[in-house]
Amino acid sequence: MTELVDRFGRIHTDLRISVTDRCNFRCQYCMPSEGMIWLDRSDVLTFEEIERLARLLVERAGVESIRLTGGEPTVRAGLPVLIEKLAALDVDLSMTTNGATLVRHAPDLRAAGLRRLNISLDTLDPDRFVQLTRRNELERVLAGIDVAVATGFDPVKVNAVLMRGINEDEVVPFLEMGRSKGVIVRFIEFMPLDAQGEWSSERVVTYDEILTTVAQHFDFEPISRGSSPAERFRYTDGGGEFGVIASVTEPFCDSCDRIRLTAEGQIRNCLFSLDHVDLRVLLRGGASDDDIIAAVAGEVDRKWAGHAIGQVHFLRPSKSMSQLGG
């Protein structure tokens, strides 16, 4: 087996697959309100192409976990078919979703072999939800969380990006929601991947600020992190756990084990990578398995030491989060 090792000795075993660039929301921090150019259907990898790449990376390159992302993956027609194909690879298979259609889709996704869910939700306030997503769908998302838990997904994680001036006052409400529903809330520092290009360090609600707020209301203790991007904490009263992903102020680049496959077949070695390798060209040009593995290994080897957010030489990617996948 050929391990995917970069020049710094980091082994990459976590594959994020964006199955579509489309979404059923128009979140203002993921995509512009207008002018979004969608991929043509023929430009998106087929399920068979995704399965081939995933199988190669699992069987020959040591990939152990796969997460499906988007855009919003549930808008991809026939998604359970792809999940069945990937679940057969015997990997830790999960999906990130905005939760808006989970009431309808959760049972089919679970039956197809999906076991874990991450649900993106940045506010519990109905008016803010409309402001952020341009959709009045909060109740459907909350109902979707309940259905996901009832259907047997474990764990169910709710990811909230905190933004100063927008939702930094919702730390405690989110934690109370998580404790009551039996889900893990994870707070994510605001990263420079917003579609509007309005990110600034002043907008970041930091790791230290988040923990200070939590400590005013709950007793908690740390949990061993491992290779997870989240610093994990358990409530000492047995009420579950929460996490903080401090990508900006406490970057975890030295332990990052992720690579990303975009909907059109680009392998990217980092969420903030400026370059990529086009696997779609290789797939549709008759490339051998050895050719594909070599291309992926070469891209991983070019990975930087870190993303350099906040440093003078940082360059943000040309694509926003909706085009890269979470």
Q: Which residue type is seen at 221? A: E
70-128 residue pLDDT tens? 889 999 999 999 999 999 998 999 999 999 999 999 999 999 999 999 999 999 999 99
Judge contact between 35 and 272, C-beta under 8 A. Answer: no
Closest CA to 45 of 68, 11, 19: 19
Residue 135 belongs to a domain: yes
* DSSP letter, residue 73: G
Residue range of the domain that includes 149: 14-324
Residue 6 belongs to a domain: no
Tell me, what CATH number does 53's domain have?
Answer: 3.20.20.70
214-262 residue pLDDT tens? 999 999 999 987 767 899 999 999 999 999 999 888 888 888 899 999 9
Judge contact between 115 and 8, C-beta under 8 A. Answer: no
Higher pLDDT, 174 or 32: 174
User: CA 182, 188, 191: angle at the middle one, nearest 5?
Assistant: 160
Q: What is the pLDDT of residue 312?
A: 46
Residue 2 belongs to a domain: no
Pull the structure tokens for residue 148. Answer: 């996901």
What is the C-alpha separation between 189 and 314, in angstroms, rounded? 17
Residue 4 belongs to a domain: no
Got the DSSP string for 218-254? --EEEE--TT-SSEEEEETTS--EEEEE-TTTS--GG
Residue 8 belongs to a domain: no
Judge contact between 65 and 89, C-beta under 8 A. Answer: no
Residue 7 belongs to a domain: no
Total structural domains within the chain: 1
**DSSP three-state, residue 304:** coil
**DSSP three-state, residue 113:** coil
Residue 146 belongs to a domain: yes
